[in-house]
Amino acid sequence: MKKLILLPWTLLWISCSSSIQPDPIDHDEHSFARPEEVVVTHLDLDIEVNFTKKELTGKASLSIKNKKNFRQLHLDTRGLAIHKVTIGKEEKSTAFQLGNPVRYLGQELIIDIEPSTDLVNVYYSTGAEADALQWLEPAQTADKKHPFLFTQSQAILARTWVPCQDSPGIRMTYSARVKCPTELWAVMSAENDTVKNDEGIYTFKMTNPIPAYLLALAVGDLKFQSLGQRSGVYTEPSVLGRAAYELADTEKMIEAAEKLYGPYRWGRYDLIVLPPSFPFGGMENPRLTFATPTILAGDRSLVSLVAHELAHSWSGNLVTNATWNDFWLNEGFTCYFERRIDEAVFGKEFAEMEAKLGEHDLLEQIKEFGPDSADTRLWLNLHGRNPDDAGSDIAYDKGYSFLRLIEEKVGRDRFDQFLKKYFNTFAFQSMTTKKFIAYLREELIQGDLELEKKIRIDEWAYQTGLPDNCPKPQSDAFTNVEEQVRSWMTGKPAKELMSTNWSTPEWRHFLRSLPATMKKTQMDELDAAFKFSKSGNSEIIFEWLNHVIVNKYEAGYPQLETFLTSMGRRKFLKPLYQKLAETQDGLQMAKKIYAKARPMYHAVSTSTIDEILKWKA
Ligand SMILES: [Zn+2]
């Protein structure tokens, strides 16, 4: 991955990165909105989905609150064609202007209003630049019969399909009416129907206020299956059985989560398993998690992803990072919460193995950035950068480690009480790093200087690298795995290793613990013994393919190509393309595969891979 974009300010930050930096004001510089003047409180969306033109057309009616007789409303848009804007229920026409386009931020939409205006109606269509939308041809779906559309609004892509105030610090309720082809079913991050209708018209309601990045829509040939009293899964018909089997523990996870940090506040918790081009593992769209089919391993071994997305119903969706600089407040908390759910449902050993894998990712990430890189801090300064390009394991696993450290120092009971109160106190509000730390000191540290010294809060939040009081997860299962690797390297045949009943985390750790370079005969032996090339488990395939690339193991190339052309999950794509690009032959192979695969990837993934391969679209 590229390190930093070395703009002058970045150099400045690096040079003083070891000193403590306070947050600047809470202003979100990735949005044109001015919520301190006029703020959107409700969105009513009325749109039609046109698969032929790959376009959404319709009207966004925004209820607004004017803080002090302001005469302009500022919205975010990117690539939208604005046809007409009116104000009030009576739809009086009004003037509007679009600002100059700014790279990845789009264009400011400035609408003239009257001090008494409480409703603004924007008539619009999406354009070719609508990066939130992925339109799939029938051939790109599992069942290959109907087209499919899904959105991905995080971090700042909601503005590419809805004119809105696209900042995580601004919340609104929403309602929607979506018209789609009659053979398809539309679902949103809102109250959904659990039966398909014949008119192709669906209505939705989200009565809890949410930030714009949680707006989500999927349209396709869907079926629904219940998983329990308040949970279920939507997928294409042919995937439904497998998905329902894999996700059977969902209800147990909701119960475990509620026991930890208080009631689930969103009503139902459903999932939709999307076609394979979905760029993420999961997206925590409220009431309806969007998930990749790469979690369908056939043995329920990859469902901690569900624990993660479910945990976001508290950390992220309920208490939300105020700006993308505070992203760790969403992801670090969610990683911590996820592993607590894992522990409650699957046991301590499983949760510790997951934590060990996370620790490995964290150390690798810090090594890649360099320990003095400003990108290794929890609180980030994303000035001048696209927040979508700046996400890394730091927010997730350094954030996790920080919270685990606090837990270890104050004791689990006290920490759990603190977190429960935190989610309750700040429910449906946004949070900055500074505000969180103030609350932490007030509620938990309470002037205890010894405790403060043991935790070193400011060092964790604002300084680079990894503090030396970082907690160390312990796993006996992983110690055994490491022993098996050592035995193999000192001559024990692979098929005689003690690997019976290993879980997915153990296999992942095994593959990660193997030497970086191996001979062809060693790769042959491993594959003959453990059938990595036949695995149906995406995490195991991924770890194996890393060795295939580094060792130029030609027998593994067909599997590599199949994997890269059959799913679009950025977490897998990015490191594999990166590794390929390290050698001349590899780069050539990568480009050949990418030419085939690119049309199937989402814009979130192609923007990353284009850069790795220096691809000119
Ligand atoms: Zn997450």
CA distances from 271 to 236, 291, 615 (A): 12, 7, 34
Determine the distance separating the centroid of ligand 1 and the alpha carbon of 326, expressed in angstroms.
13
Determine the distance separating the centroid of ligand 1 and the alpha carbon of 331, expressed in angstroms.
5
Query: At residue 393, what is the residue type?
Result: D
User: Is there a catalytic annotation at residue 309?
Assistant: yes
pTM as predicted: 0.93
Residue 20 pLDDT: 38
Burial 415-446 (b: 16+ CB within 10 A, else e): bbebbeebbeebeeebbbbbbbbebbeeebbe
pLDDT tens column, 480-529: 999 999 999 999 999 999 999 999 999 999 999 999 999 999 999 999 99
Tell the residue number behind the tokens 């009659």, with chain if given: 182
Determine the distance separating the centroid of ligand 1 and the alpha carbon of 312, expressed in angstroms.
7
Which positions of the chain have pLDDT values less than 70? 1-26
Burial 580-605 (b: 16+ CB within 10 A, else e): bbeeeebbebbeebbeebbebbbbbb
Task: Select which of 123, 234, 336, 396 is catalytic.
Answer: 396
Determine the distance separating the centroid of ligand 1 and the alpha carbon of 298, expressed in angstroms.
23
Determine the distance separating the centroid of ligand 1 and the alpha carbon of 223, expressed in angstroms.
26
User: Is there a catalytic annotation at residue 554?
Assistant: no
Rounded to 5 degrees, what angle do the CA atoms 382, 330, 189 make?
110
Determine the distance separating the centroid of ligand 1 and the alpha carbon of 445, expressed in angstroms.
27
Helix axis angle, 504-513 relative to 348-369, nearest 10°? 30
Query: At residue 402, what is the residue type?
Result: F
Please tell me the distance from the alpha carbon of residue 214 to that of residue 128, in angstroms, as a whole number: 22
Please tell me the distance from the alpha carbon of residue 599 to that of residue 577, in angstroms, as a whole number: 16
Task: Select which of 55, 246, 284, 309 is catalytic.
Answer: 309
Determine the distance separating the centroid of ligand 1 and the alpha carbon of 338, expressed in angstroms.
9
Determine the distance separating the centroid of ligand 1 and the alpha carbon of 1, expressed in angstroms.
20
Determine the distance separating the centroid of ligand 1 and the alpha carbon of 552, expressed in angstroms.
33
Determine contact, residues 120/62, Cβ cutoff 8 Å: yes
Q: Which domains does the chain have, with CATH numbers?
A: 31-126+149-217 (2.60.40.1730), 222-313 (3.30.2010.30), 316-462 (1.10.390.10), 480-613 (1.25.40.320)
Determine contact, residues 288/202, Cβ cutoff 8 Å: no
pLDDT tens column, 369-391: 999 999 999 999 999 999 987 78
Residue 499 pLDDT: 96
Determine the distance separating the centroid of ligand 1 and the alpha carbon of 163, expressed in angstroms.
25
Determine the distance separating the centroid of ligand 1 and the alpha carbon of 222, expressed in angstroms.
25
Determine the distance separating the centroid of ligand 1 and the alpha carbon of 610, expressed in angstroms.
24
